[in-house]
Amino acid sequence: MTSVEYRAGAAVSASPPATGSAAGRPRTGWWRRWAHWLYLAPALALLITFTYVPVGNMIWYSFQRWDGLSPTMTFVGMDNYGRVFSDEDYWRVFLVSLYYFVASFAQIAIALYFAVLLSFQTRLRNLFKGILFFPYLLNGVAVGFVFLYLFQPDGTLDTVLRLVGLGEHTRYWLGDAEVANFSLAGTSVWRFTGLSFVLFLGAIQSIPTELYEAAEIDGAGRWQQFRFIIAPGIRRIISLSFILAISGSLAVFEIPFIMTGGANGTRTFVIRAYETAFQFRQIGLASAMAVVLLLLVLVITWVQRRLVPDDEVTLS
């Protein structure tokens, strides 16, 4: 085969449909034109079956009343959407996302602080990096149990508070609806700060060191180095983190589901959708919730793309 043939698709339109090439190996024009689809087929089949078909079905279900079992569904138009926005039980769960959203600001701030701190040569840097990052790798159920244990009455948190003389501030960290969401959002900060930290640190360390050296020669202090070298260098990853924070806080599920099961006002949107679909068997209503969430995430991502136009992800 020549290198002209090698670039299969490029020459396709010009080449006549050659037939019957060497040794029965299919090298016909048809083959050359379609071979790449064979390589893509498994990936595309999985992608379409388990992402695009479900999304399509979900939109279809969202206009029906259906229990997921019976062969027939009833078309109800926009009723499910109406319910999602008017029934307090449904739209209130959106507000729970706010706790996680605010918490993710704390998470980004803490991560940024430690990333900058550890980007300078420091003794034991790798040890601290490992400790800060490690929680992110832990199993979600294990994290849930670790914090159930921490927050239980007379548990670790209460003991520590008494130890430092703040004993009167102990409360039912997960049982009291006023603080339960703060406790859960705190758990989520503990779990995910390490990820943001490592991402920020990686971005800072990919800034060429000559820049710092030049700045130092020019007499720039640490703050100026941060302001004029580090900050612009990590703008992209920070804006990405904010987007992930928004869509992440809308889609919180594991921590509250494992720790409180959604009790005491900690029910999130996804827990509600899960219950609606798999416990109350209202597939139509649950689908409407999922569609609303999906649209929100898409809109947020689109807005971010407009606000912070970054270099197109180039794969080819």
Give the binding range for another protein (CB under 8 A) out of 32-40, 79-87, 97-105, 164-172.
32-40
Give the count of beta carbons closer than 10 Å to the beta carbon of residue 68.
13
**42 makes contact with another protein (CB under 8 A):** yes
**The one among 249, 254, 256, 267 contacting another protein by CB under 8 A:** 254
Is position 121 an interface residue for another protein (rule: CB under 8 A)? Answer: no
Asked if 44 interacts with another protein (CB under 8 A), we say yes
Q: Does 295 bind another protein (CB under 8 A)?
A: no
Q: What is the DSSP string of the chain?
A: --HHHHSGGGGTTTS------GGG---SHHHHHHHHHHHHHHHHHHHIIIIIHHHHHHHHHTTEE--SSSS--EE-TTHHHHHHHH-HHHHHHHHHHHHHHHHHHHHHHHHHHHHHHHHS--TTHHHHHHHHHGGGGS-HHHHHHHHHHHHSTTSHHHHHHHHTT-GGG---TTTSTTTHHHHHHHHHHHHHHHHHHHHHHHHHHTS-HHHHHHHHHTT--HHHHIIIIIHHHTHHHHHHHHHHHHHHHHT--HHHHHHTTTTTTT--HHHHHHHHHHTS--HHHHHHHHHHHHHHHHHHHHHHHHHS-PPP----
Which of 237, 238, 265, 275 touches another protein by CB under 8 A? 237
Site stretch for another protein (CB under 8 A), options 30-38, 91-99, 100-108, 169-177? 30-38
Of the candidate residues 4, 19, 30, 47, the single one contacting another protein (CB under 8 A): 47
Asked whether position 253 contacts another protein by CB under 8 A, the answer is: yes
* Shortest distance in whole angstroms from residue 136 CB to another protein: 8
As measured in angstroms, the least distance from the Cβ of 132 to another protein is 6
Please tell me whether residue 40 binds another protein under the rule CB under 8 A. Answer: yes
**Interacting span for another protein (CB under 8 A) from 77-85, 90-98, 193-201, 212-220:** 193-201
Residue placing its CB nearer to another protein in the complex, 135 or 265: 135
Segment near another protein (CB under 8 A); pick from 81-89, 176-184, 208-216, 267-275: 267-275
Q: Which of 98, 109, 160, 214 binds another protein (CB under 8 A)?
A: 160
Which of 209/314 has CB closer to another protein? 314
| # binding residues, another protein (CB under 8 A) | 91
Stretch that binds another protein, among 73-81, 101-109, 168-176, 252-260 (CB under 8 A): 252-260
Please give the single-letter amino acid code of residue 146.
V
- Judged by CB under 8 A, does residue 135 bind another protein? yes
The residue type of 194 is G
